[in-house]
Amino acid sequence: MIFPADALRDCRRLFLRDYELDLSIGWHAFEKKHEQRVILNVELWVPLASTTPRADQLDEVVDYDLMREAVLARVRQGHIHLQETLVDDIARELLAHPQVRAVRVTSEKPDAYPDCASVGVEVFHMKEI
């Protein structure tokens, strides 16, 4: 087994930052009445060896659309009770891609409390290589 630091040493990091959506999320009855603003961040680590373009073509790399589409696919499935479920489902979908070695997904609800910037959750998963 390769240790985590070694597993990501030869990787490129792709990211989707501050993707803001209004979605149906929350456990409490008052949260289910209205969509809530959620800010998502996604990071992927992909191996340089198989994602370094030689001919400057999109099919030689992992397309950024993969991250955005994974988020939208999960959101379109309907109401989500927990941010933990949201990030786990997105991470699982992205990690299934053959070129993705590791993924980090964060979710923040910036309007949950008036006295802080946001509340959220982060998950990190890595394939064994």
Whole-Å CA distances, 87 to 10, 13, 38, 50: 25, 18, 11, 26
42 Cβ contact partners less than 8 Å away, ≥ 6 residues apart: 15, 16, 19, 67, 70, 71, 90, 94, 103, 104, 105, 106
List residues bridging with 80 in a β-sheet. Answer: 25
Residues 17 and 38: their CA atoms lie apart, in Å, by 12
Task: Please give the residue that has the higher pLDDT: either 74 or 62.
Answer: 74
Q: What is the pLDDT of residue 52?
A: 82
Residues 115 and 50: their CA atoms lie apart, in Å, by 46
What is the CATH number for 45? 3.30.1130.10
Task: Please state the domain count of the chain.
Answer: 1
**Least confident residue range of 1-5, 33-37, 99-103, 117-121:** 1-5
- At residue 84 the predicted structure's pLDDT band, cuts being 50, 70 and 90, is very high
Q: What are the DSSP E strand ranges found in the chain?
A: 11-23, 36-47, 102-109, 119-126
Task: Answer whether 39's CB lies under 8 Å from 108's CB.
Answer: yes
Average of per-residue pLDDT across 89-118: 96
Range of the domain at 97: 4-126
Q: Is the pLDDT assigned to residue 129 strictly greater than 90?
A: no
Tens of pLDDT, residues 7-29: 787 889 999 999 999 999 989 88
Q: Is the pLDDT assigned to residue 62 strictly greater than 60?
A: yes
Amino acid at 71: V
Q: What is the pLDDT of residue 83?
A: 96
Q: What is the pLDDT of residue 124?
A: 96
Average of per-residue pLDDT across 47-60: 85
- At residue 5 the predicted structure's pLDDT band, cuts being 50, 70 and 90, is low
Q: Is the pLDDT assigned to residue 71 strictly greater than 90?
A: yes
